[in-house]
Chains A and B, each alone.
Chain A
Amino acid sequence: MRMKNAVRLGFCAIVLLFTLSPLIGFFATTSRLGGAEKTTNDLWQILTAPSTFRSLSFTLSQALVSSVLALLVGIPGAYLVAKYNFPGRRVLLALSAVPFCLPPVLVVLSFVLFYGRTGWLTKLLTLLSQSLGFSNLGSTNGFLYGFWGLVFIHAFYNFPIVIQNVGKVWEQLPQSREEAARTLGAKRLEAFRVGTLPYLLPSILQSMSLIFLFCFFSFTIVLVFGSLEGSTLEVDIYRALSFNGDSQKALVLAAIQTCIALGIAWALARFGQGASAMMKDYGATRPRKRPKRFAVLFVVLYSAFIGVFFIGPLLALTLEAFTVTDSPGGTPRFGFENFVRLTGRGYFQSENLLGLSLAHSLTVSTIAALLAIGIGLTVAMAVRRQKSSRFSTILTTLPMAISPVLTAFGWAIISGTISVTDRNLANNAAMILAQSTIAWPFVAKSVIAALDGLGLQKYDAARTLGASPLKATIRVELGEIWPSILSAAAFAFSMTIGDSNIALVLGGGQETLPVLIYRLISSYRFNEACAAGLILAFLTGIAFFFKEKPNGTA
C-alpha cells in the first residue's frame, strides 16, 4: 500500500508542477529580465506606489460589490428553485453554465446591445413611456461605462452560480429546525435566522467567494467598461507586459495578485467543505411544492426580472445575429446574410473565416478538453479514498488562484523557449496547455464528487472477486459514474472553446472563434459578430444539454 501512495503522491506532485509551471516560468523569466539595475528598492517602490494601491483597492472593491450584488439577485432564485416546481425552474438552474462558458467578449457585446444608449432597453423604455403618456422614463444613458455599470454586468453575469449552489443546499435542508423554532414561538424571520440561515451560510459564502474570485480576475469586461474608473490587477499586468515592457511592475502586481487569490481560494475551499459537510446529513431532497397565491406572484415577478435583465441581453444577441440592414438607416429585416458573409460568400470577402476559425477552435479545444479530462480524471482517482479530503481540496482549488493572464503568459514563455523555430506551433501548444490548466480542476472536482457519492461497496465487491485495484476502478466505478464524466467532459469543452482571454493575450497564430468575434467587433461588424457569437454560444451551450452539472461548480 505504501508504494501505491507514493505513486499517487508523485502523480499529484507532477500535476501540481504542471499547473504551477506557467507561474514559475513567469516569475523566473521576469525576475531575470530586469537584470542588474533591478534592486529590491525598485520593487519596493512599485509596491508602495499610489497607483499600485489604487489598482488593488479598485480590484477588491469592485469584486466585493459585484459578488454582494450577485447574491442579492441570486438568493431569491435559489429559494424558488429549492422550494417550488414551476415552469422555467430547469432553465434557471441551467443558467449556471453561463458564467463558466459564455465568453466575456459576448457578454460585453450583448450588454452593449441591450443596455446601450440605443439598445433594446432604451427602446423599450421609450416605447413604454410613449404608450403610458409619460414624458420619458429615461434611457440607460451610458451608465454601463462606470463603476456601477461594471459591477452590474459582473453581478448579472455570475448570479446563476448562487441559484445553483445555494439552491442545491436549500433543497435538501430539513425543515425541522425552522419548524421547531416556530413551535417555540419564534416569528417567521427569527425562525429563518435560527433554523435556516446558519445552515445555508457555507454555501452562500462559497458562491460569494467563487464570484469574488471571478471578478477579481476580471479582464475583458474591465478593459472595455472600467478604464475610466480604474483597472484590475489583471488588466494592469497585461498592460505592463504587452504595452510597456515593464516586467518589474508586472512581477510585483502578479505577486500581490497571487497572494490575495490564494487567500480567496482557501476561503472558497473552506466554505465548499463546510457546504458539502452540511449536505451529508440531510439525506434525500425535500419534495417541492407547486406555488400558490403569493408564491405564484413571487415566481412570476422573479422570472420576469431575470427574463428582462439577464435573458434580455442574450436575446438581443440572437436577434441581432439575424438582423440585416441593406442600407444604413434603412429598415432592418430578418435574414441569414450575416452567417453567409462569414463563410466567405458575402460581398467582399473571399476566405471562409467562420469555417477556418471554427475548425481551429474545435481542434484546439477538443485537445485541451481531452487533456483536461485526462488530468482531472487521474487526479480524481489518485486523491480519492484519502483519509482527509483536505489534500484533494487543496490540489483542485489551488489552480483557481492562478490568473488566466499569467497562465497564458507563463505558457507562452515556456513554449517559446522550447520551440523557437515555429511560432505558430509554440502558440498553439501554449494555448492548449493554458486552457487545460484552467479547465482540469473543474473536471477533477466533479469526478471526485461523483466517486464520493458512489461509496465503496461496489469497488470492494469487485476487489473481493479478484479484480486488481485499477481494474475495479475502471470497470466498475468509472462505468457507474459515466454520466458525470460525460458532463464534466462537456463542461471542459465548453470552458475551453469559450475562452477568449488566453487566445487574446497570446495573440498571433490562427484565429479561434472567440478571437474572430473580437476582431469582428473590432472592425465594427456587430451583426456578423453576433452571428459568430450565436454559433459559439451554441457550442458552449453543450453543457446545458447534460442534466448533471459538474459538482466542482456547485
Chain B
Amino acid sequence: MNLIRIIPAEGKMKRLFSVPIVLLVFVLLFSCNNQNAKVDSLTIWTYDSFVSEWGPGPALAKLYQEKTGTKIVFQSKGDGGALLAEILARGKDAEADAVIGLDDKLAPRALESGLFTPLHLTNLKNIDKKLLIDSQSRLVPYDYGNFAFIWDSKWEEKELLPPKNLEQMTRPEYKKKIIIMDPRTSTPGLGLLAWTQAVYGDNWEDYWKRLAPSILAMTPGWDTGYGLFTKGEAPLVLSYSTSPAYHKAYENSERYRALVFEEGHPLEIELAGVLINSKKRKAAEGFLDFLLTEEAQSILPETQWMFPANTLVKLPDSFDVVPKDVKSLTAAKVSNLQKDPERAVDLLQAALR
C-alpha cells in the first residue's frame, strides 16, 4: 500500500526487507500485555467456556479480587482434553498455578503424572461426599452433572416418541436422529463410552455397532453438537440432565427435556487442582478454597449449567425443570482410556461403511 512510497528510492535492497522486521518489532511491542507485571496474581489454566463471557470465570475473578486483591488470570486451553494434553506436554514447565476443568474421566491420567499437590481446603467439608474421587485431595470437585440425552419435544408432533433407555436408541425409528460427541476429543463422548461400558459390560462393542445407524453426527466437542441440536438437526443430543435449565432461564422454554433412562446415568465430576511446581501454591490453594465457598458455588449453576458441589447452595428456580429421579451410576468409568475411544470410533465408522 503506501509502504512503497515511504521507502526512499535511494535506499538499498536491505531497507526493503527491513520493513517486515520493523513491523515485527512493532507487533511485539504492541501486543505486549502487562498482566504479568503484577506480583500478586494467579495464573489458572482452564477451558474455553469457563472463561467465556457466559461462563463463571469473569464473575469469580472479579469477586476474588475484590475480596483479596489477588488478580486471577485465566488462560483458556481449548477444552478439557486439550487442557490435560497441555499440562502433560509441558510437565513441570507449565506456567500455571492452578488448573480448573479436568474431570473424573481424565483424572487418572492427571494424577498419574504426579504434577498435582495434595490440598487442605476448609470448605471441603460441605462438598457432596460421592464426588470426592481422590483421597489425597490433589484434585477437588467444584461441580457435577449427570450425562443424559436431551429430547426436542417438537418431534412429538411428527409422532416420534422419546426412547426410554440406551437400547431403544438403536431402534430403526431413531435412524440418523442422534448427535453424539467424539470420545477421542470430548468429555461427553468419553461419558457415553463409560455409560455403555457400565450398562453393557464386555458387550459394549456390540452396542456401539448397533447404535451406529442412529447417529447423525459425531462432533469434536459438546458445543458444536449442542449447537446443531438447537438448530433442529436432530431430536436427540448427548448432554447433561441439567441442560434444560439453560433453556428455562434464558428462553423460558421447556421444549427441550432431559430423558431419564432406567439403567441410570454416569456422573461427570469437574475437578480443580494446584500444580506442584507453582511458586504460589498457598495462594492457589486459597483460590480453590474460595471456589468451594457457598458464595462462589452459587455462581456456577447458571453459568456452568451443572450442579454445584457444595451441598449448602440453594439451586435457582430454572433448575426446577431438571429431572429429580436421575439415578447416578457412580462407578461408571472407561476401562481403557488409551484404546477404547479409538476402538469405539472405529466401530462406528466400520458399521457405516
Q: Which residues of A contact B (CB under 8 A)?
A: 7, 11, 14, 51, 54, 112-113, 116-118, 141-142, 145-146, 223-225, 227-230, 239, 241-245, 327-329, 348-351, 353, 363-364, 367, 370-371, 373-375, 377-378, 381, 420-425, 428-429, 432, 468, 470-471, 474-475, 478, 485-486, 489, 507-508, 519, 521-524, 526
Q: Specify which of A142, A225, A349, A522 lies most central, judged by the most chain B CB atoms within 10 Å of its CB.
A: A522
B167 contacts partner chain A, Cβ-Cβ < 8 Å: no
B7–A474 CB distance below 8 A:
yes
B31–A370 CB distance below 8 A:
no
A367–B26 CB distance below 8 A:
yes
Which residues of chain B in 1-26 are interfacial with respect to chain A, using CB atoms and an 8 Å cutoff?
A: 1, 3-4, 7, 9-13, 16-17, 19-20, 23-24, 26
Instruction: List B contacts of A51 (CB < 8 A).
Output: 342, 346
Instruction: List A contacts of B227 (CB < 8 A).
Output: 521-524, 526
Q: Which of B195-203, B251-259, B262-270, B328-336 contacts A (4 or more CB under 8 A)?
A: B251-259
Instruction: List B contacts of A328 (CB < 8 A).
Output: 247, 251-253, 255
**Partner among A227, A371, A470 whose Cβ is within 8 Å of the Cβ of B23:** A371
Given A328-B251, A367-B26, A423-B95, check contact A224 B220 (CB 8 Å): yes
A227–B32 CB distance below 8 A:
no
**Partner among B31, B95, B250 whose Cβ is within 8 Å of the Cβ of A425:** B31
B75–A349 CB distance below 8 A:
no
**Partner among A11, A227, A425 whose Cβ is within 8 Å of the Cβ of B33:** A425
Q: Find the A residue at minimum CB distance from B21.
A: A374
B82 contacts partner chain A, Cβ-Cβ < 8 Å: yes
- Give the docked Cα–Cα distance between A522 and B50 (Å): 13
B251–A327 CB distance below 8 A:
yes
| Extra A-B contacts (18), CB below 8 Å, given A11-B17, A239-B185, A363-B31 | A116-B231, A117-B233, A142-B217, A142-B233, A223-B220, A224-B217, A224-B224, A228-B218, A228-B352, A242-B81, A328-B253, A349-B54, A353-B53, A468-B10, A470-B9, A521-B224, A522-B227, A523-B49
**Partner among A228, A424, A478, A485 whose Cβ is within 8 Å of the Cβ of B217:** A228
B3–A370 CB distance below 8 A:
yes
B85 contacts partner chain A, Cβ-Cβ < 8 Å: yes
Q: Specify which of B48, B52, B220 lies most central, judged by the most chain A CB atoms within 10 Å of its CB.
A: B220
Q: Find the B residue at minimum CB distance from A379.
A: B17
Which residues of chain B in 70-88 are interfacial with respect to chain A, using CB atoms and an 8 Å cutoff?
A: 75-78, 81-82, 85, 88
- Give the docked Cα–Cα distance between A492 and B48 (Å): 29
Instruction: List A contacts of B93 (CB < 8 A).
Output: 420
Q: Specify which of A228, A351, A521, A523 lies most central, judged by the most chain B CB atoms within 10 Å of its CB.
A: A228
Instruction: List B contacts of A375 (CB < 8 A).
Output: 17, 20
- Give the docked Cα–Cα distance between A340 and B78 (Å): 27
What are 14 A-to-B residue pairs whose CB atoms are below 8 Å? A51-B346, A112-B231, A113-B231, A117-B232, A225-B217, A243-B184, A327-B253, A425-B32, A468-B10, A507-B82, A519-B48, A519-B223, A521-B223, A523-B52
- Give the docked Cα–Cα distance between A486 and B1 (Å): 6
- Give the docked Cα–Cα distance between A422 and B219 (Å): 33
B88–A245 CB distance below 8 A:
yes
**Shortest Cβ gap from A9 to chain B (Å):** 13
- Give the docked Cα–Cα distance between A420 and B75 (Å): 14
Which residues of chain B in 23-82 are interfacial with respect to chain A, using CB atoms and an 8 Å cutoff?
A: 23-24, 26-28, 30-33, 35-36, 48-49, 52-54, 58, 75-78, 81-82
Instruction: List B contacts of A349 (CB < 8 A).
Output: 53-54
B219–A227 CB distance below 8 A:
yes
**Shortest Cβ gap from A135 to chain B (Å):** 15
Q: Find the A residue at minimum CB distance from B59.
A: A350
Given A223-B220, A227-B219, A374-B19, check contact A424 B35 (CB 8 Å): yes
B162 contacts partner chain A, Cβ-Cβ < 8 Å: no
B221 contacts partner chain A, Cβ-Cβ < 8 Å: yes
**Partner among B82, B95, B224 whose Cβ is within 8 Å of the Cβ of A522:** B224
> Chain A at the B interface: mostly helix, strand, loop or mixed?
helix
**Shortest Cβ gap from A534 to chain B (Å):** 17
B9–A243 CB distance below 8 A:
no
B52–A118 CB distance below 8 A:
no
Instruction: List B contacts of A377 (CB < 8 A).
Output: 4, 16
A228–B4 CB distance below 8 A:
no
**Shortest Cβ gap from A259 to chain B (Å):** 25
1/0 per residue B73-113: CB within 8 Å of A?
00111100110010011000101000000000000000000
- Give the docked Cα–Cα distance between A183 and B19 (Å): 59
- Tier of interface size on chain B: 35 or more
**Shortest Cβ gap from B280 to chain A (Å):** 16
Q: Find the B residue at minimum CB distance from A529.
A: B227
Q: Which residues of B contact A (CB under 8 A)?
A: 1, 3-4, 7, 9-13, 16-17, 19-20, 23-24, 26-28, 30-33, 35-36, 48-49, 52-54, 58, 75-78, 81-82, 85, 88-89, 93, 95, 176, 182, 184-185, 215-221, 223-224, 226-228, 230-234, 247, 250-253, 255, 342, 345-346, 348-349, 352
B10–A471 CB distance below 8 A:
yes
Instruction: List B contacts of A507 (CB < 8 A).
Output: 76-78, 82
- Give the docked Cα–Cα distance between A367 and B39 (Å): 31
- Give the docked Cα–Cα distance between A489 and B3 (Å): 11
B77–A112 CB distance below 8 A:
no
Instruction: List A contacts of B52 (CB < 8 A).
Output: 519, 523
B232–A374 CB distance below 8 A:
no
B233–A373 CB distance below 8 A:
no
- Give the docked Cα–Cα distance between A420 and B90 (Å): 12
Given A116-B233, A227-B219, A508-B75, check contact A245 B23 (CB 8 Å): no
Q: Find the A residue at minimum CB distance from B224.
A: A224
- Give the docked Cα–Cα distance between A230 and B346 (Å): 9
9 smallest beta-carbon distances between A and B, as pairs? A522-B223, A118-B232, A328-B253, A428-B31, A374-B20, A145-B217, A328-B251, A524-B227, A374-B19
B75–A470 CB distance below 8 A:
no
- Give the docked Cα–Cα distance between A51 and B184 (Å): 14
Q: Find the A residue at minimum CB distance from B215.
A: A228
**Shortest Cβ gap from A49 to chain B (Å):** 11
**Partner among B27, B76, B255 whose Cβ is within 8 Å of the Cβ of A429:** B27
Given A112-B228, A227-B217, A228-B352, check contact A522 B48 (CB 8 Å): yes
B28–A425 CB distance below 8 A:
yes
**Shortest Cβ gap from A331 to chain B (Å):** 15
B233–A227 CB distance below 8 A:
no
Instruction: List A contacts of B26 (CB < 8 A).
Output: 367
Instruction: List B contacts of A351 (CB < 8 A).
Output: 53, 58
Instruction: List B contacts of A224 (CB < 8 A).
Output: 217, 219-220, 224
**Partner among B11, B17, B28 whose Cβ is within 8 Å of the Cβ of A470:** B11
**Shortest Cβ gap from B159 to chain A (Å):** 15
A245–B85 CB distance below 8 A:
yes
**Partner among B20, B58, B85, B184 whose Cβ is within 8 Å of the Cβ of A371:** B20
Given A112-B233, A349-B53, check contact A423 B75 (CB 8 Å): yes
- Give the docked Cα–Cα distance between A353 and B52 (Å): 10
A228–B28 CB distance below 8 A:
no
B76–A142 CB distance below 8 A:
no
Instruction: List B contacts of A423 (CB < 8 A).
Output: 75, 95
- Give the docked Cα–Cα distance between A146 and B352 (Å): 10
B31–A242 CB distance below 8 A:
no
Q: Find the B residue at minimum CB distance from A372.
A: B20
Q: Find the A residue at minimum CB distance from B216.
A: A142
B32–A243 CB distance below 8 A:
no
- Give the docked Cα–Cα distance between A478 and B5 (Å): 10
Q: Find the B residue at minimum CB distance from A375.
A: B20
- Give the docked Cα–Cα distance between A350 and B233 (Å): 31
